[in-house]
Amino acid sequence: MTDNNIQQLIDSGNSVVKLPAGEFRGPFYADRPCTIEGNGTTLWNSDNNVFVIDSPDVKLKDLRIEMIDPADDRFSVCSHYPFEAENVEIIGLTAGAGDEDTVPDVQKQIKLGSFSSETENTFVFEIYSPGDATVETGMKDISVFPVSLVKGINRITIKTAALPSGTFIYGDLLIKSFFTRRFYIQGMASDGAENAVDKLIFQINQNDVDLLKDAPQKNAELIKNVKRPSPPPQAPQEKAPSAGVQREVSRNNTPQPKTGIHSLARGERISIDEYSNAPLRIYMSYRALFKEIDIDPYAFMLDSTGVTSCDDDFVFFGNRETMSGAITFMDDGSIELDLKKVPDHIKKISFVYSIYQPGPSDNFSKVMEPFAAVVQNGRELFRYTASELFAETTIIFMEIYKHNTGWKLNTVGQGYRDGLKRLCASYGLIVS
């Protein structure tokens, strides 16, 4: 289903609009009373508002609404009327949502860093709550208190269990008020690391919060002229595909295949020294999906022993950049690699793609011709298609490794049926 189909569903006249699972780019407009109900549905945008409400009696339910590139004049949700929200996760700023408009755009990653193994550790961070809220986490080796927040600045304590050295902690922390906001906790238990006792890891600037007290009024002024644009002239309708033809699906913001690309075979090793002077982009795409699934990229920076020695060397959507700046998780889902910034102790970088929270039947057999490609300055250099996948949920597509004084690329194509956790263990990360 396309982004335009989503708007057509909203315009359908049904009192309850049920959206399908998947990720869809806005902006979207609700200009009539209705309930918009998701089902594993993410609505997003990067250069405009995501969801605009221009009618009374609108309710949002079971949705994730995300502004990828937040700015002071772009909103995840903006409304000219009061509205209801039930189980709606927000990333970015809001307008027309009352006290929720005062929530600052704060860091969503809660980095514990390395902490002492075999003993409990406690960390403290501050968060601003727009009203009464609850705190939830499903992490088994983490406890959080208090679990109830009041309006204003709150201090939350995170306590770790006594964990073996090398245990990597990663999970979600949900703050639920009118909307739900998600934070990512990560850290690693390590021998010789400091025992953290009420270590302050994030503090909110009171001056910034004071400035946001006028946010509801300021934001209302910003969206005063936000209206649904007039529809463009309708293009001639394309002929529908014949029965049995698989619909081709293209990933958002993904470079399209070009002729003349150097296609690599499994196990092929090539020098990439000539491309080391400018950043590379690694992205994954496919010819088609037989089922809507989310596939997320991961990059593991490995030392001479083949392990990830600290949590900073593991890049994914919860840890978007290494301290060295060598690897960055980009908003379009690609991974950017600057070989000039790779630390000396790193000998290999593994690029992995894994199905996010796979169901019983979710695996790479639902993906037609998945491939990973290397791009530089907008030009695709290499491509490797993994054509022998079946029940795997995680795959190492390629590795870039040091060879003498230069760099080489190796196409791996190794899959794991039991998912990311086993792969992390092979890289020295015990995922909790």
- ∠103-294-374 over CA atoms, to 5°? 100
Whether 225 shows a pLDDT value over 80: the answer reads yes
3-state secondary structure 324-344: CCCEEECCCCCEEECHHHCCC
Quote the mean pLDDT of the chain: 86
User: Are the beta carbons of 212 and 85 closer than 8 angstroms?
Assistant: no
What is the model's pLDDT at position 432? 64
Residue spans of the domains in the chain: they are 3-105, 109-203, 262-431
Edge-first strand order for the sheet with 51-53 is 28-30, 51-53, 77-79, 94-95
What is the model's pLDDT at position 179? 95
Which is the CATH superfamily of the domain at 262-431? sav2460 like domains (2.60.60.30)
State pLDDT tens for residues 79-129.
Answer: 999 999 999 999 888 999 988 888 876 667 788 888 999 999 999 999 889
What is the model's pLDDT at position 331? 84
State mean pLDDT over 315-320.
85
- The rounded distance, in Å, linking the Cα atoms of 302 and 206 is 40
User: Are the beta carbons of 183 and 136 closer than 8 angstroms?
Assistant: no
What is the model's pLDDT at position 338? 96
Instruction: Identify the top-confidence range among 236-245, 296-305, 380-389.
Output: 296-305
Domain 109-203 belongs in CATH node 1.20.120.1200: no
pLDDT band at 248 (very low <50, low <70, confident <90, very high): very low
What is the model's pLDDT at position 233? 59
- The rounded distance, in Å, linking the Cα atoms of 183 and 112 is 13
What is the model's pLDDT at position 420? 82
Residue 189 tokens, joined: 């238990």
β-strand partners of 335 = 282, 329
What is the model's pLDDT at position 253? 42
User: Are the beta carbons of 298 and 396 closer than 8 angstroms?
Assistant: no
Q: Which residue would you say has higher pLDDT here, 373 or 240?
A: 373
* % of the chain exceeding 90 in pLDDT: 47
State mean pLDDT over 20-34.
92
What is the model's pLDDT at position 249? 34
* % of the chain exceeding 70 in pLDDT: 91
Whether 246 shows a pLDDT value over 50: the answer reads no
β-strand partners of 349 = 301, 400
Q: Which residue would you say has higher pLDDT here, 168 or 269?
A: 269
What is the model's pLDDT at position 60? 97
State pLDDT tens for residues 118-169.
Answer: 999 999 999 889 889 999 988 888 999 999 999 989 999 999 999 988 888 8
- Alpha carbon distance, N-terminus to C-terminus of the chain: 36
Q: Which residue would you say has higher pLDDT here, 142 or 256?
A: 142
Instruction: Identify the top-confidence range among 197-211, 256-270, 390-404.
Output: 390-404
State pLDDT tens for residues 362-371.
Answer: 888 888 889 9
